[in-house]
A and B are shown apart, each in its own frame.
Chain A
Amino acid sequence: MNAWADLFQQVNDEATPGWLKSRRIAAFARFEHLGIPTPRDEDWKYTDLKRLNKRQFSMAQTEATVSHTDQAELLDLNAWRIVLVNGVFSPDLSDLSDLPNQVTIEPLSQAITHDQELAGGLVGRLAAIDTDSLTALSHAMAQEGALIRVGSGVVLPRPIQLVYLSTEHESALASWPRIAVVAGPNSQMTIVEQLVGQHASGHYTQRVAELFLEGNAQLTHYLLQTPAEKDLWVGRVHVEQKRDSRYQAFHLNLGGALVRDDFVCELNARGATASLNGLLFGQGRQHLDMHSKVNHNAPNTYSDENYKGILNDRARGVFNGKVIVKRDSQQIEAHQNNANLLLSDQAEMDTKPELEIYADDVKCSHGTTTGQLDENAVFALRARGVDESVARGLLTLAFANQVLDQVTLDAVHDTVEARIAGALPERFNLKGLVLEDQEAQ
């Protein structure tokens, strides 16, 4: 715990505005009181964070130089872009030019100096200090991030890209980016978050995002994770949805030593719809954990969850989905589906789809399966002259495509497909059938 206190001393320096300083101190006290969660906490039953306490982290103070190969990892989406290199804003790699009217995209460190709403507590309204101990830590430590505001009726022609890039460093670095997005009434936008890195330095990124969707707003949210081998990530997304707003998430989790994400949706008014899609692909000794929680706080709200997991080697996957229907939230539809494919006997999947229902006029269901490829399907393909390895490859890819097919950004779709195809073991052959990783870029 002392290591965290030392880090905290560095963060909360003289330059911090007064209102923020006191808030940070309170948050850190809260974190110290609670400590890092352990598997004894129900929410962390299958994910052990003890390596967080073991590893000595420092914080990057200045922007690191970014090599060409590192830069090549950034998806080219023709997007407005904020790039954080080891948690530090990089003006060179970012692109915030030609923003339309009524649209603000700003790194948090700049916004903090002048934005009244931030001072008024925009950050933390959904993911408050008392959410859990790591969110408290985020409140204490966060220095950088992004503030995005899209005004009433604006339809953004280009996506917004937020990149968390890790570069090579002699010691492990930690960062706590925070994102706040306010989507005005009738607005439409796409946000692509990308976690990338190639160097096994063991960095830790803990991102907390708060998304506010006003009436009839539409937000499509991609989270694409291809971090370096030893990197750790803990992510939390809170979404507040007003009348008829639609939130669609694609959580594409392709690795990292330990990756944990929580998506929390508050459906607060009639017609609010949340659609959560996830794809998890684990190999080696990776530990990938997806949590979601949908609170149906108002009648006539809808949610749909579709999560797929593919696990190879000794990878471990976790899925925990919660649907909570509050009393008097009638006429709800909520569906949850989690299917997992185990490719190796050492892989493990722990899944827990939960329904908590306090209203009677609801249609709720959940289903989960864990198993291997359907041998009948393999046979059907082989009977038509397809090699066994190709058949297995195609079927595995088809499994992933149940999520990927809904991805409308080609660059994201192709990258994920190529990554999975490239990483499948030899008995799954997809050579020549999908784009290679480099081509996909």
Chain B
Amino acid sequence: MANEAMEQLVRKEYKQGFYTDIESDTLPPGLDESVIRHISSIKQEPEWMLSWRLEAYRHWLTMTEPHHWAKLKYPSIDYQSVSYYSAPKKPEDAPQSLDEVDPKLLETYEKLGIPLHERAALAGVAVDAVFDSVSVTTTFKDQLAEAGVIFCSISEAIREYPELVRQYLGSVVPQGDNYFAALNSAVFTDGSFVYVPEGVTCPMELSTYFRINQANTGQFERTLIICDKRAQVSYLEGCTAPQRDENQLHAAVVELVALEDAYIKYSTVQNWYPGDEDGKGGIYNFVTKRGDCREDRAKISWTQVETGSALTWKYPSCILRGRDSVGEFYSVAVTNNHQQADTGTKMIHIGENTRSTIISKGISAGHSDQSYRGLVKVAPSARNARNFTQCDSLLLGASCGAHTFPYQEIGNASAQVEHEATTSKIGEDQLFYCMQRGISEEDAVNMIVNGFCKDVFKELPMEFAVEAEALLNVSLEGAVG
């Protein structure tokens, strides 16, 4: 009885599927050292940055692409057929204010439901909008500058704040960390850079919208966020991509560094194009996200809502090095049609009294396959470490799959580590209970799914939760607030 309502819910089409026609400077497909030199020179990077990139590239050449994933299946990627740089027109004189921005870009944001200027003004959010590979506009810079917060594109940071970038870039995710991180280190073209100085609580939530626009353009974002002692920041990342038939490669790297008493909250709503009903097309998303609680009492919190991508490979992690540091991971992942998601987290407890919480909710529908893969490691040095993990899966339909692979490596007797997981469908009795009280079937399904995700949604910042709702293929009324 519930099947029809559920099918309607999960069959909603991808609304963000449109394509903006803007002339682009795009490098021809292919990758060799000259491409990297070219990217570096377009970006006017200093010499050390180029050699850092080349080092990563040479390391990447020695690595082989891991292709025997336990639960991911996809055709081989031809890295030579990808174009590694694409910028909206006139990268030399990037617009300084909204007025200078290409109206077509603004139109795109309008379609996405993100009127940049309005939104920025109303919600008090500074948006570093990434359209393909170059930051087009950065708002609220002055207000941030007053607080001493640096929020700019990574390219700009490399030019303007080389000491900071040099000190922290690659210190959490080294160049050779994994195949995709190495590729990213060699060819990354943009991304965001945030530095919050000592004692400063960032006056507004920082936000970036990513969009893949050019066909055949891989996006290689690099984000670096540093929170100095006693500083706090909340960072929002959102992605939508236009409907294209070719598989597009996305290999981002996000590095977070939290020093003493610092708090970084990183929220993501991810809605890359997932491919059509037959599993054709869609984005391949190979992301390395890692946070380092480098000093005592630091806290890093990841929140993610994953609805898109044909293939997701993503494990936002926390290295809990400082004493009393805290790591959190909240995730809702929705997969439909032929999507595959292999996601989870790693919590590495090194310091004493470190704590971590993992809440993961997976909803699978259609022919999709979803895995939670997580590691909780307690080093012998991590006395009194504490972890709580809960991962629940909801299955909508008989042809999807939901899997749980939690790894726990406990090397300390004073540690307390707990893991719980359940897998089930929406119970007929639950539906009956709601409907018997006069709630329509659709509302009942909504309500139950909504309740299922509530633990995670309540972690999202208010403004973002609204966006998350729109991006989720299942409408979840009243999830927040």
Contacts and interface: CB of A to CB of B under 8 A. Distances in A.
Contacts of A371: 415-418
Contacts of B406: 352-354, 368
Interface residues of B, number: 35
Contacts of B239: none
B415 A354 contact: no
B419 interface: yes
B414 A369 contact: no
Contact of B423 (A328, A347, A364): A364
Contacts of A328: 398
Size category of the A interface is 35 or more
Contact of B417 (A42, A347, A359, A369): A369
A365 B418 contact: no
Interface of B: 70, 380, 383, 393, 395-425
B407 A350 contact: yes
A342 B415 contact: yes
Nearest to A332: B423
Contacts of B423: 355, 357, 362-365
Contacts of A42: 70
A360 B396 contact: yes
Contacts of B418: 367-369, 371
A357 B419 contact: no
List of 9 A-B pairs having minimum Cβ-Cβ separation, nearest first: A342-B413, A360-B395, A371-B416, A360-B425, A364-B423, A370-B410, A355-B404, A368-B419, A370-B417
Contacts of A358: 399-401
B139 to A, nearest CB: 45
Best-buried of B406, B412, B416 by chain A (most CB within 10 Å): B412
Interface string A362-397: 111111111110000000000000000000000000
A115 interface: no
Nearest to A348: B411
A175 to B, nearest CB: 33
A362 B425 contact: yes
B356 to A, nearest CB: 14
Nearest to B401: A358
A340 B410 CA distance: 10
A366 B417 contact: no
A342 to B, nearest CB: 4
Interface string A152-163: 000000000000
B421 A355 contact: yes
A356 interface: yes
Nearest to B404: A355
A308 B423 CA distance: 23
A400 interface: no
B400 A360 contact: yes
Contact of A350 (B398, B410, B424, B425): B410
A372 B408 contact: no
A363 B413 contact: no
A203 to B, nearest CB: 30
Interface string A316-348: 000000000001101000000000101111111
Contacts of B398: 327-328, 330, 359-361
A345 B352 CA distance: 13
Contact of B422 (A347, A348, A351, A364): A364
Nearest to B403: A356
Nearest to B409: A350
A368 B420 CA distance: 7
Given A360-B400, A363-B424, A370 B408 contact: yes
B333 to A, nearest CB: 15
A310 to B, nearest CB: 11
27 contacts: A340-B410, A342-B412, A345-B380, A347-B411, A349-B410, A350-B408, A352-B405, A353-B406, A353-B419, A354-B406, A355-B393, A357-B395, A359-B395, A360-B395, A360-B396, A362-B423, A364-B422, A364-B423, A365-B422, A368-B417, A369-B417, A369-B418, A369-B419, A370-B415, A371-B416, A371-B417, A372-B414
Contacts of B70: 42
B253 to A, nearest CB: 26
A111 to B, nearest CB: 40
Contacts of A352: 405-408
Contacts of A361: 398, 425
